[in-house]
Amino acid sequence: MTDPNVREHSSLQLPITDAAALTAEQTLERLGSAPDGLSAEEAAARLESLGPNAVRTHRANAWAVLGRQLGSPILILLLVTAALSLFLGDATNSIVIGVILLVSVGLGFTNEYRAERASEALHDRVTHRAVVLRGGTTKEVDVTALVPGDVVHLSLGAIIPADIRLLTTSNLLCDESILTGESQPAAKDTAPVPGGAALGDLASCGFMGTVIQSGSCIGVVVATGGRAEFGRIALGLGERQPQTEFQLGLKRFSFLLLQVAMVLTTLIFVANLLLQRPLIESLLFSLAIAVGITPQLLPAVVSTSLATGTRQLAKRKVLVKRLVCIEDLGDMDILVTDKTGTLTEGKISFTAALPATTDVSDGGLLTLGLLATEADYAGAKGSFAGQNPLDAALWESAGAAAFEPGRFDRLDLIRFDHQRRRTTALVRDRGGPAQLVTKGAPEDVLALCGPVPPAVRAMLEEQFGAGARVVAVATRPAVGLARLTPAEERGLTLAGFLVFLDRPKANARQSLDRLEALGISVKIATGDNAKVAEKVCADLDVLSGGTLTGTQVEQMSDADLAAAARTATIFARVSPEQKARIIRLLRQSGGAVGFMGDGVNDALALHKADIGISVDTATDVAKDAADVVLLDKDLGVLADGVMEGRRIFANTIKYVLMGTSSNFGNMFSAAAASVVLSFLPMLPGQILLNNLLYDSGQLAIPGDRVDKEQLRAPSHWNIAFIRRFMLLFGPISSLFDFATFALMLFVFNAVPGEFRAGWFIESIATQTLIIFAIRTRRVPFLRSRPSAGLIAASLGVVAVGIFLPLSPLAGVLGFDPLPVPFFLALLGMVVVYLVLVELAKQWFFARDAQQLPAPPPPVRPRHATHHIARRAFRFSAPVKVPRPPMQPRSRRRARLRGRKAART
């Protein structure tokens, strides 16, 4: 029976189209709410009955992981054929195969589940907050704890956390492209709209997952989770994340292996049938060959690499929000960053007040600057929380101690925004006449003033040239004015300039050198004056490719700006929208673009970048928008993160190269031998055991060291390179396999059990030890030392491989004892094999084809599905997210929206 409370609370949720047609007061009434929000008790009750505001679950699901392990088609075929073998009387081989497959599944499950648990822990460390009114008190809550009826406060750069009906707005524009596909922001106000309006025409509502591009608002939550428009689409797309370039490379690589495996398996099966061997034995052997050539534990190696990477990055003060962010971080080759706190210390200090006329004193100018801050005068000196850095520096200055809050009344205020780039206050001194005070970027404030003497302009240019940050202050009488509008910002008289200093970081040059060594081009995007940014770069010996100002950016077409942005180093006086546009166009040039920012004005660009980077001390809006959060705002810390991302890719490629070359060689040897010999060269169970031992030892690869030259540039999948590598080193492996066959047949006159034992040991030894040559382009051990874990794992696997044919299990596994001289011959063959591989490696990498870098991947259009899945991350809870009940027509609409998003 349905809980009546659930029915009661469900009835409080409104379709967004219905809410749009109601007035703000009617909406609050229908939702059982009020302007001061819900009580804490009522909010808790609604959360309990309606569930979290979530569209994803980040709970690790052991059954789902196990299902993926058991869902392998090859595994299913092997299980079926092993069962048939058991039914036909070959119980021993069936049991051996069953045990080996069980261990293989167990290894894959353990590693993948550990990676999912690491991802779950990652989610638990990252929180996304919303400012909400509960019982008239403003507080921050997790976005997943929002319920219908909650009153939320939202500002520039925020992602709207649920479908809301707007109660108040201030110059509100919303980027709704993720839902509507419209590139232009939608203007919003509180007026009801006629019923039946399209989604893009609901101007009185804000939608979950969309971004506030300018202005601010207060709204009441109408629908949460899967009941919101964004939630329906996200749930319609399912839990699976869009594939990254790394994962797409894995997919292409797997297709290559599938082609090779199908050809070999078919040829072997047909050849064995022509030789009139038993059907089941031939089928089992063919399938074992297919499994043997496939690196079964590749997903486990990748998962282990990513899980290991998150732990390593956490130690280096880098917190990634999703495991795949590590790959994106390593792929980055362009970094656009703000200047403050990355190239400079980020400790802004007020240094001087420079009056423009003799009528204004230094102290008077400072007072005017304090009057035009957004902080409450009474508490501004005691707390700098929520203030912008320049205002905080003003209140922290020695001159601010003389400011008397009680002297002044603030009648009205126009807050700072990134279009006007100024703050304007309407104030009155002890009941005297009202006065308008404007403070902001000098270029914008001077444009509102009368003629400015050349000496004053020269003074301003001198400060810019010295690298100082300058704020202009202007005033005018405002007798009889009670309310402010932007139109009142006119006819001002310049009072003077407030000068601030933010010194370059002592270690900034070292950090830039590290990024340059990693092949990353660093560009600066700042709201500061161009000369200030150029002076900081000059002080740090940054070679500039040119400067573009916000005015120039605004006048350029996309094509012209894309060309100019590739060479420019500094983007000065750029707005949030211009930053986002620059990022978008740089991405289209083929680079993987990272953006690093920590302010409200950086949120739009963080959303647009391939990898958004913020810092722990950033504004909540910036941290919410970022994919990676640095616990220390230092480009050196970011360089550590990039190196870790590239290390993971390099180690994964080691496994791929080793697996394809040695597996291909061994399976080719097995295929040839099965046709020539009167018996199978290795039993199906022995092939699977060989593959299992070999793969198990390679689980230590994620912790291996990586040579410095492998970290100098982003690496991409190069299937042609992998194919060339496989076709050279595979036959070398086969050459020594054939030598082993000859040794066993013509020297030791081996029976089938001895032959299989000898080849099993030689195969394990050669294909495991080759990792030490393949893992580096250098001379192994002498110029490139492997990790202790990889050495121990590899030698341990070889030891187990030698032990098994000599152990009490030898008879069960189908092995016979080997003569002692075989092991002496094996030692000699292994040494010759490793030397030959090293010589072949030097020749291979010296060829012109390998000297060329891998071609960069094509520019990847970010489909709507990618943006939806990335945005859905913030609405994630550690519980199963139920699909809300929908009428058949609503369910069909959700499916259609999901399909449309996938095509967009």
- Report, as residue numbers or ranges, the catalytic residues: 338
Residues whose CB falls within 8 Å of the CB of residue 755, separated by 6 or more in sequence, listed in order: 679, 681, 741, 744, 745
CA count, 13 A, side-chain hemisphere, 423: 20
Residues contacting residue 7 through CB under 8 Å, at least 6 positions apart: none
Rg (CA), the chain: 33
Cα–Cα dist 521/516, whole Å: 7
789 to 71, 503, 659, 695, 796: CA distances (angstroms): 31, 45, 19, 15, 10
Among 586, 174, 372, 631, which Cα is nearest to 623's? 631
Assign 866 to helix, strand or coil. helix
Q: In angstroms, how far apart are the furthest CA atoms of the chain?
A: 114
CA-CA distance, 749 to 758, in Å (whole number)? Answer: 12
- For residues 401-412, one letter each, b for 16 or more C-beta atoms within 10 angstroms of the residue's C-beta and e for the rest, the string is eebeeeebeebb
**Residue 736 · residue 762 · CB < 8 Å:** yes
Instruction: Find the DSSP H helices in 31-90.
Output: 40-50, 62-70, 73-87
Strand order in the sheet with 349-355: 349-355, 493-501, 469-477, 434-440, 422-429, 408-414
Strand partners, 615: 630
Are β-strands 434-440 and 56-57 bridged in parallel, bridged antiparallel, or unpaired? unpaired
Contact 42, 60 (CB under 8 A): no
Residue-level length of the chain: 904
- Spatial distance between the Cα atoms of 200 and 195, rounded to a whole number of angstroms: 13
DSSP H or E segment with residue 669:
helix 635-676
- Measured CA to CA in angstroms, residue 237 lies from 16, 56, 240, 682, 883 at distances of 21, 11, 8, 46, 12
- Position of tokens 């490629």? 653
CA distances from 364 to 403, 404, 475, 497 (A): 10, 12, 12, 12
- Which residues are CB-contacts of 897 (< 8 A; sequence separation ≥ 6)? 232, 233, 236
Q: CA 710, 713, 715, 719: dihedral to nearest 10 degrees?
A: -90
Name the residue type at position 880.
K
Query: Secondary structure of the chain: what % helix, strand, coil (to 5)?
Result: 55, 15, 30
Q: What's the half-sphere exposure (Cβ side, CA atoms, 13 Å) at 814?
A: 23
Look up residue 624 and give its two tokens: 């919410």
Which CA distances in Å does 678 have to 634, 715, 838?
A: 67, 46, 35
Alpha helices in 704-751 (DSSP H): 719-742
Contact 456, 315 (CB under 8 A): no
Q: Is residue 818 packed enough to be buried (19+ CB in 10 Å), middle (13-18) or exposed (0-12)? A: buried
645 contacts 329 by C-beta, under 8 angstroms: yes
> Could you tell me the CA-to-CA distances from 284 to 299, 601, 694, 752, 760 in Å, in that order?
24, 62, 20, 18, 18
Q: What are phi and psi of 501, to 5 degrees?
A: -130, 135
Bridge partners, 500 (sequence order): 350, 469
